[in-house]
Chains A and B, each alone.
Chain A
């Protein structure tokens, strides 16, 4: 069998729910923050499609959309313009969704390997709840502000490009104040997958029409699944073509239980959405000054912040950047005033993704840094602070864990140990011998300052050596 090669193409459509914007995109209803509220309690007459009500634009949504578009390196539209997209289905009361088609608020951007075709504002639909044979519709979600980000088609050479893009996007959203948990529906990712045999496409510059029939994977559950689902679909399509079959254009969804993709809509018809301008929304100019003001006030973004920490190593930098961990890290830095590299090690080993009392932890770190406690005590106390929120000072006091740095006491213990273990001095490996002595001293009193202990043991062994050599 001849080895055919296939080129893989992916396009992503990401729906981001805008939060922290007070109310819905066009209605006065508040946003249901935890998706657990009683159905149809976060609704306004506009969401229910009552005739005679009007869309009242929420300016905070526009601002947030521009922030995200700028972070994705997009151009911003010169006019704020909305259209109606008509279709008959249960989850949309008005039977049209207010969205943007002609003038998406952001366009021609890029992030990682993907080019961003556009980012546009639109209303979310209601949620459909199945209960046996009956169908219920909850309009809490209807009219929520969504920003739909559409990428250009990317030829996939390294599968990790997909995850890299999504992870970076999520970080950007977090940096802009949006809490993003994909499993809570804050972010919905749909992908369009197609493959093309290499012989057909070697020289042409490909347009969308040239690509093979595309399969749409919808609503993939967890972020990590997107890349896997995409790669599985590529494999599936390649196998189909290898076995002489044809790829049919359709829509699939990922079955969360089996992890496999299943067809939900075969032979997708072209929808006639009959796009029409939204007449009750007066289009307005998006002024340069307005955009500049937003750009000036953008918080620092992950890529920029990462540069600040690259000198600590890429892995450390990535951990500090993730989820804006650097904010806590920098607070600790201010409180403890210890070396950045030292603190980053402590942070990464003990504190990442943990909730803790800042004062307690910074005090504990300072005790350690000032040699008031040794490593073992540090580790033990840290566990207490993190698990039980115990004040480290009190814990160390009560358990008498302060490190002993009294020189005379240390020296007297060393002397005692040397008297009983004098035979071992003849061991060739010096460091092994020193460690042995450290261990023996610690057995007598485990709160001895290990640095002083090592220092004095070294001095003593040097003295003994000199004496012997004399």
Chain B
């Protein structure tokens, strides 16, 4: 059972027993759990010591990248993402492209390529949702196919699936990990995320992937901010599990309470900004891969191709374009941006005064059956209610597992100032240790 081992231990095993050992094990596991629909396509070639999962939005020259969409089933990457280059340099390699909600639009995993993606965890004999949009990444780590998976986080797409699957998830500061070669959703708030079984692996992989990239002008260097204030913030709007606040107090942290109603509106802000970005980014998809014989004229060509987008993607494109219409004076979009700015001012003040904000990562996960039977997309958006404000303000956040509600995993989220990833991970370690001592997990 290789799940027990950390990255360093796995590297050693690979070096001593040969990298095929882990490679074959991973493939065997993926076959065992193929019903989860967490993987897209065939296993990738052995290229290092430790295999990892890779959300299918990262380009790798020569490989097909689908972004979970029918429209890209034959799309071969023309270049290699910086993230993959860095993995390979450090002897990690992607073994599977993990399934995701089409173009990263979703929070449950029900809109994966070829159908819903399942979590190996169950409740009353029903598979739980793995969360979204990095559903396959989380599901694959939970199933033990690999211990580490690279994902993305735009509204909670790394932390929320990590929470649903009882794993660690890191959403780094905007810009700290290069997005060169990553298919974007919302370019102004997208992050590369990491989902792991072990906390120490989160740290190792973060330090491998971080750094300014000249090919991504929105990227920046990571200069750790480790200033401790020894206090944590709790927002009235986001429930904070008692076990966590008690543990923190026992560790000598002071609790400070705040009220930021705007935090709950973050979802509404997000639901204007992100669709607008998506509509803009996906404008270029007009069917360059289609057979010439299938169209009557230019508009027909565009129309036929773009009809292949899934319902959620179509929904968001329409909302996004509507928000940008000049006949609306682009008002909706501008309003959302000003609210985003206000939100930033408030959150910034809070994280400056404290080490981090503590709260639940996400509401308890549904079963896949419940998610599939939910007709209202807005209800599904609510899965991100506690995570989305972090993306809008550019700060990093970590989700850690341990707590349960109704036997379903609950994640706890720590949100810090920019460049406090190390500080957050260290605090997480301390909190978990304390909670174990207090026997609450």
- Chain B's closest residue to A271 (CB) is B326
Cβ of A49 within 8 Å of any chain B Cβ, yes or no, is yes
Contact with B along A45-58 (1 / 0, CB 8 A): 10001111111110
- Chain A's closest residue to B189 (CB) is A279
Q: Are B325 and A274 in contact (CB under 8 A)?
A: yes
Given contacts A88-B286, A94-B283, contact A275 B330 (CB under 8 A): yes
Cβ of A393 within 8 Å of any chain B Cβ, yes or no, is no
Q: Are B79 and A45 in contact (CB under 8 A)?
A: yes
Q: Are B284 and A274 in contact (CB under 8 A)?
A: no
Given contacts A45-B79, A52-B179, A52-B182, contact A88 B302 (CB under 8 A): yes
- Tell me which residues from 17 to 55 in chain A have a Cβ below 8 Å from any Cβ of chain B: 45, 49-55
The 8 Å CB contact of A273, one of B286, B298, B302, B326, is B326
Q: Are B79 and A50 in contact (CB under 8 A)?
A: yes
Cβ of A90 within 8 Å of any chain B Cβ, yes or no, is yes
Cβ of A280 within 8 Å of any chain B Cβ, yes or no, is yes
Q: How far apart sit A280 and B326, CA to CA, in the bound complex (Å)?
A: 22
A-B contact pairs, 24 of them (CB 8 A): A45-B78, A51-B284, A52-B79, A52-B181, A52-B182, A54-B179, A54-B180, A55-B217, A56-B214, A86-B280, A86-B324, A90-B298, A93-B284, A96-B283, A273-B326, A274-B280, A274-B326, A275-B330, A276-B276, A279-B218, A279-B277, A280-B187, A280-B217, A280-B218
Sample of 20 more A-B contacts, CB < 8 Å, known A49-B284, A276-B333: A45-B78, A51-B59, A51-B183, A52-B79, A52-B179, A56-B215, A57-B217, A84-B280, A95-B284, A274-B280, A274-B324, A274-B325, A274-B330, A276-B276, A276-B280, A276-B330, A279-B277, A280-B217, A280-B218, A282-B217
Cβ of B327 within 8 Å of any chain A Cβ, yes or no, is yes
Given contacts A56-B217, A280-B218, A281-B217, contact A51 B281 (CB under 8 A): yes
The 8 Å CB contact of B180, one of A52, A93, A274, A282, is A52
Q: How far apart sit A55 and B324, CA to CA, in the bound complex (Å)?
A: 22
Q: Are B180 and A94 in contact (CB under 8 A)?
A: no
Q: How far apart sit A273 and B283, CA to CA, in the bound complex (Å)?
A: 12
**How far, in Å, is B379 (CB) from chain A's closest CB?**
28
Question: How many B residues touch the partner, as a band?
Answer: 35 or more
Cβ of A272 within 8 Å of any chain B Cβ, yes or no, is yes
Cβ of B216 within 8 Å of any chain A Cβ, yes or no, is yes
Given contacts A52-B81, A282-B217, contact A275 B280 (CB under 8 A): no
Q: Are A88 and B283 in contact (CB under 8 A)?
A: yes
Q: How far apart sit A93 and B186, CA to CA, in the bound complex (Å)?
A: 19
Q: Are A276 and B324 in contact (CB under 8 A)?
A: yes
Q: Are A275 and B326 in contact (CB under 8 A)?
A: yes
* Residues on B with beta carbons closer than 8 Å to the beta carbon of A94: 283-284
Contact with A along B255-280 (1 / 0, CB 8 A): 00000000000000000000011011
Cβ of B184 within 8 Å of any chain A Cβ, yes or no, is yes
The 8 Å CB contact of B216, one of A49, A54, A90, is A54
Q: Are A275 and B324 in contact (CB under 8 A)?
A: yes
Q: Are A95 and B216 in contact (CB under 8 A)?
A: no
* Residues on A with beta carbons closer than 8 Å to the beta carbon of B284: 49, 51, 93-95
* Residues on A with beta carbons closer than 8 Å to the beta carbon of B298: 90
Q: Are A272 and B78 in contact (CB under 8 A)?
A: no
Q: How far apart sit A50 and B187, CA to CA, in the bound complex (Å)?
A: 14
* Residues on B with beta carbons closer than 8 Å to the beta carbon of A273: 326
- Chain B's closest residue to A57 (CB) is B217
* Residues on A with beta carbons closer than 8 Å to the beta carbon of B276: 276
- Chain A's closest residue to B178 (CB) is A54
Q: How far apart sit A276 and B274, CA to CA, in the bound complex (Å)?
A: 12
Q: Are B187 and A279 in contact (CB under 8 A)?
A: yes
Q: How far apart sit A229 and B302, CA to CA, in the bound complex (Å)?
A: 37
- Chain B's closest residue to A95 (CB) is B283
- Tell me which residues from 49 to 96 in chain A have a Cβ below 8 Å from any Cβ of chain B: 49-57, 84, 86, 88, 90, 93-96
Q: How far apart sit A273 and B81, CA to CA, in the bound complex (Å)?
A: 31
Q: How far apart sit A275 and B321, CA to CA, in the bound complex (Å)?
A: 10
**How far, in Å, is B254 (CB) from chain A's closest CB?**
36
Cβ of B188 within 8 Å of any chain A Cβ, yes or no, is yes
**How far, in Å, is B374 (CB) from chain A's closest CB?**
30
The 8 Å CB contact of A272, one of B181, B188, B277, B327, is B327
* Residues on A with beta carbons closer than 8 Å to the beta carbon of B179: 52, 54
* Residues on A with beta carbons closer than 8 Å to the beta carbon of B188: 279
* Residues on A with beta carbons closer than 8 Å to the beta carbon of B218: 54, 279-280, 282
Q: How far apart sit A276 and B214, CA to CA, in the bound complex (Å)?
A: 24
Q: Are A54 and B283 in contact (CB under 8 A)?
A: no
Given contacts A54-B216, A280-B187, contact A272 B325 (CB under 8 A): yes
The 8 Å CB contact of B286, one of A56, A95, A280, is A95
* Residues on A with beta carbons closer than 8 Å to the beta carbon of B186: 279
Question: How many A residues touch the partner, as a band?
Answer: 20 to 34
* Residues on B with beta carbons closer than 8 Å to the beta carbon of A57: 217
**How far, in Å, is A132 (CB) from chain B's closest CB?**
15
Q: How far apart sit A110 and B187, CA to CA, in the bound complex (Å)?
A: 38
Q: Are A52 and B59 in contact (CB under 8 A)?
A: yes
Q: How far apart sit A49 and B182, CA to CA, in the bound complex (Å)?
A: 13
Q: Are A272 and B280 in contact (CB under 8 A)?
A: no
- Tell me which residues from 209 to 236 in chain B have a Cβ below 8 Å from any Cβ of chain A: 214-218
* Residues on A with beta carbons closer than 8 Å to the beta carbon of B184: 51-52
- Chain B's closest residue to A48 (CB) is B78
- Tell me which residues from 265 to 315 in chain B have a Cβ below 8 Å from any Cβ of chain A: 276-277, 279-281, 283-284, 286, 298, 302
Q: How far apart sit A90 and B277, CA to CA, in the bound complex (Å)?
A: 21
* Residues on B with beta carbons closer than 8 Å to the beta carbon of A49: 284
Q: How far apart sit A55 and B180, CA to CA, in the bound complex (Å)?
A: 11
* Residues on A with beta carbons closer than 8 Å to the beta carbon of B180: 52-54
Q: How far apart sit A50 and B183, CA to CA, in the bound complex (Å)?
A: 9
The 5 closest A-B pairs by CB, nearest first: A95-B283, A279-B188, A274-B324, A279-B187, A52-B181
Contact with A along B325-339 (1 / 0, CB 8 A): 111001001000000
Q: How far apart sit A93 and B287, CA to CA, in the bound complex (Å)?
A: 11
Q: Are B327 and A50 in contact (CB under 8 A)?
A: no
* Residues on B with beta carbons closer than 8 Å to the beta carbon of A276: 276-277, 280, 324, 330, 333
- Chain A's closest residue to B333 (CB) is A276
Contact with B along A257-294 (1 / 0, CB 8 A): 00000000000000011111001111000000000000
Q: How far apart sit A52 and B216, CA to CA, in the bound complex (Å)?
A: 9
Q: How far apart sit A93 and B284, CA to CA, in the bound complex (Å)?
A: 6
**How far, in Å, is B7 (CB) from chain A's closest CB?**
26
- Tell me which residues from 122 to 166 in chain A have a Cβ below 8 Å from any Cβ of chain B: none
**How far, in Å, is B89 (CB) from chain A's closest CB?**
19
* Residues on B with beta carbons closer than 8 Å to the beta carbon of A86: 280, 283, 324
**How far, in Å, is A80 (CB) from chain B's closest CB?**
12
- Chain B's closest residue to A134 (CB) is B292
Q: How far apart sit A262 and B366, CA to CA, in the bound complex (Å)?
A: 64
**How far, in Å, is B130 (CB) from chain A's closest CB?**
25
* Residues on B with beta carbons closer than 8 Å to the beta carbon of A50: 78-79
**How far, in Å, is A59 (CB) from chain B's closest CB?**
12
- Chain A's closest residue to B306 (CB) is A88
- Chain B's closest residue to A93 (CB) is B284
**How far, in Å, is B97 (CB) from chain A's closest CB?**
15
Most buried by A among B181, B183, B280, B298: B280
Q: How far apart sit A53 and B281, CA to CA, in the bound complex (Å)?
A: 11
* Residues on B with beta carbons closer than 8 Å to the beta carbon of A96: 280, 283
**How far, in Å, is A138 (CB) from chain B's closest CB?**
15
- Chain A's closest residue to B182 (CB) is A52
**How far, in Å, is A37 (CB) from chain B's closest CB?**
21
- Tell me which residues from 166 to 209 in chain B have a Cβ below 8 Å from any Cβ of chain A: 179-184, 186-188
* Residues on B with beta carbons closer than 8 Å to the beta carbon of A56: 214-215, 217
Q: How far apart sit A281 and B298, CA to CA, in the bound complex (Å)?
A: 31
Q: How far apart sit A52 and B179, CA to CA, in the bound complex (Å)?
A: 7
Contact with A along B74-85 (1 / 0, CB 8 A): 000011010000
* Residues on B with beta carbons closer than 8 Å to the beta carbon of A279: 186-188, 218, 277
* Residues on B with beta carbons closer than 8 Å to the beta carbon of A52: 59, 79, 81, 179-184
* Residues on B with beta carbons closer than 8 Å to the beta carbon of A88: 283, 286, 302
